[in-house]
Amino acid sequence: MASTSEESAATPLLSAGKGNLDENKSPLKKHAFIAFVIALPSIAPGMCLGFSAETLPQLDLGVSDAAWFASVIALMIPIGYLLSKPVMERFGRRVALHTVSVVGLLGWLMLSFRPTDPTTVKLYLGRMLTGVSVGLAMLPAATYANESLKKDAVEQTSIVTWSTVALCFGILVTYICGAMIPYYQVAGVAAIISVFSLLAVAIFVPESPAWLQTKGRQGDAEWVQKQLGASQAGSSTDPEQPSPSAPPAPAEPQPTSLKEIMKEIEKPEVHKPLLIMSAFFFFQQFSGVFVFIAYMVDIVRSAGVIALNPYFVTVLSGVIIFGASIVASFVYPKTGVRALATLSGAGMCITMLFIAVYLSLRPYFFTRAEYYYLRWIPLIAILVNITSSTFGFLILPWSMLGEVFPLNVKGTAGAIATTLGYIFCFIAIISFPHLWLSMGSDGVFYFYGFSALLGTLFVYYFLPETHGKTLEEVLDGFSKKKKEQV
């Protein structure tokens, strides 16, 4: 009877057809393919980020309604983010990936039916659901890659960042489609991508072996390990573990009550990085990073770009965002974050102020034919600004959240910083139309330019360097343990 029980415990419950992979593939190719599939659900959420840029010029909305349409997703993203961890822990990483596509699909369907008289309620509901899907997409793919894929595959292909690259690709898809077809058809494309992602994950991706082990399904875990070509499943169940290559740290009790959380936040190694990352998010948003993405067509027009069609310039910007995100995924592991952030902020500051000065002086030379070549200045500045922001201020704050907090409060501190970041995002996006009306085009670019200048000074003097350091070394810099030991 004992042997029968042991045999049944080792028998997989999963059918061979669910998440079945070709066992003849090399582990690196197999894991790269899995990483590609688990990144697919992030494409449609990425389209949500750029959707307002192409949609607002087609809708007859007032200033306040347009501002809410563009910004409401920023309020919903933290909700999706906070829901994703409980979904992953209770139902598994695979189900969490499905949830991204299903919730997003519902929102895109509400936006995809051709309207005779579109109501703001339907538009807002569609945007809210797609905003939740963005938050749901922030953790599952990276968690799955950290837990289930081999260390050498992760290091050689930077696959833990592929979901971020997929988000940027979604922005590009929105800009391309929006330049050619009406917004409701763009929503239809996003709905089709959501369905395709749902089916791809269902067919090709098995559940995480680490999660199966936590549920006592050892037989399933061993079967998945064989399918993935992994010698053993990752032991981490923390969805915010920064890297599979990080050495295991001794387990510390996680605070559960509000009193325990506040006691932990009082420690310098917790509240100092929390304040720094919150300020980084503040400068990210009020330097116009997400404002550009949300209002790209209007931004191009406001900057005085007349050399090219604004929709074509928007597509160029999407190409730059996507390309820079790919380059950044390989550069980040080898480059200091402070240097990248400083260069990024400096580039944003210079280009913003350059556009502002151009707009201020334009009345003096615009009508003179001999200065026709100056019409290319705002276009070049816009593209350089997009490049600068993408490889630094756009991506760096999110990638650093797993590198600056103690393990026992990393989830809580990361959630606080992320929520604050999207509150800042909401304020920045919803305030843009009002700033533009009250300050004028040049005034808006002066505002973002000086904000970028302050952000650059902040990251240069206060942003902790994490490259080449262990988590303990980073935390020592906050708690000053080194000086005490000396």
Q: Are 65 and 188 in contact (CB under 8 A)?
A: no
The token duo for 289 is 């990073």
**Confidence (pTM):** 0.82
Q: Are 396 and 337 in contact (CB under 8 A)?
A: yes
Domain with CATH 1.20.1250.20 in the chain: 31-210, 257-479
Angle at CA of residue 131, ends 19 and 241, nearest 5° = 55
Tell me: the pLDDT tens digits for 409-425?
887 888 889 899 999 99
For residue 443, count other CB atoms closer than 10 A to its CB. Answer: 15
Q: What one-letter code names the amino acid at 369?
A: A
Report the 3 state secondary structure along 19-51: CCCCCCCCHHHHHHHHHHHHHHHHHHHHHHHHH
For residue 328, count other CB atoms closer than 10 A to its CB. Answer: 23
Host H or E run for residue 268: helix 268-286
Tell me: the pLDDT tens digits for 162-178?
778 888 999 999 999 99
Host H or E run for residue 450: helix 410-462
pLDDT confidence of residue 165? 86
Per-residue pLDDT of the chain (486 residues; tens, 9 = 90+): 444 444 444 444 444 344 555 555 566 777 778 888 888 999 999 999 999 998 888 888 888 889 999 999 999 999 999 898 889 888 988 899 999 999 999 999 999 877 666 677 888 999 999 999 999 998 888 888 777 766 554 454 456 577 788 889 999 999 999 999 999 999 999 999 999 999 999 998 888 888 888 888 888 778 877 777 654 444 444 444 433 334 444 446 666 667 777 887 788 888 888 999 999 999 999 999 999 999 999 888 888 777 788 899 899 999 999 998 888 877 777 778 888 999 999 999 999 999 999 888 877 766 565 566 677 888 899 999 999 998 889 888 888 887 888 877 887 888 889 899 999 999 999 999 999 999 988 899 999 999 999 999 999 999 988 877 877 888 888 876 444 444
Any idea of the CA torsion for 99, 145, 334, 457, to the nearest 10 degrees?
30
CA 131 to chain centre: 12
Superfamily of domain 257-479: MFS general substrate transporter like domains (1.20.1250.20)
CB under 8 Å to 271, separation ≥6 — which residues? 265
Q: Are 166 and 133 in contact (CB under 8 A)?
A: no
For residue 14, count other CB atoms closer than 10 A to its CB. Answer: 18
Report the 3 state secondary structure along 149-161: CCHHHHHHHCHHH
pLDDT confidence of residue 449? 95
pLDDT confidence of residue 247? 42
Query: Which letter does DSSP use for residue 248 in this model?
Result: P
216: left (phi over 0), alpha (psi -120 to 50) or beta: left
Q: What count of residues does the chain have? A: 486
Instruction: Give whole-number Cα distances, 82 to 10, 262, 295, 351, in Å.
Output: 34, 19, 27, 36
Among 193, 202, 174, 198, CA closest to 56: 174
Burial (CB count within 10 angstroms: exposed 0-12, middle 13-18, buried 19+), residue 182: middle
What's the CA gap between 112 and 126, in Å, rounded? 9
How many helices (H) and strands (E) in the chain?
23, 0
Q: What one-letter code names the amino acid at 154?
A: V
HSE-up of residue 384 (Cα within 13 Å, Cβ side): 18
Dihedral pair phi/psi, residue 405, rounded to 5°: -115, 145
Q: What one-letter code names the amino acid at 76?
A: M
What's the CA gap between 479 and 486, in Å, rounded? 14
Query: Which letter does DSSP use for residue 394 in this model?
Result: I
Instruction: Give whole-number Cα distances, 367 to 26, 260, 344, 443, in Å.
Output: 64, 66, 34, 22
Q: Can you tell me whether residue 287 is helix, strand or coil? A: coil
Does the domain at 31-210 match CATH 1.20.1250.20? Answer given as yes
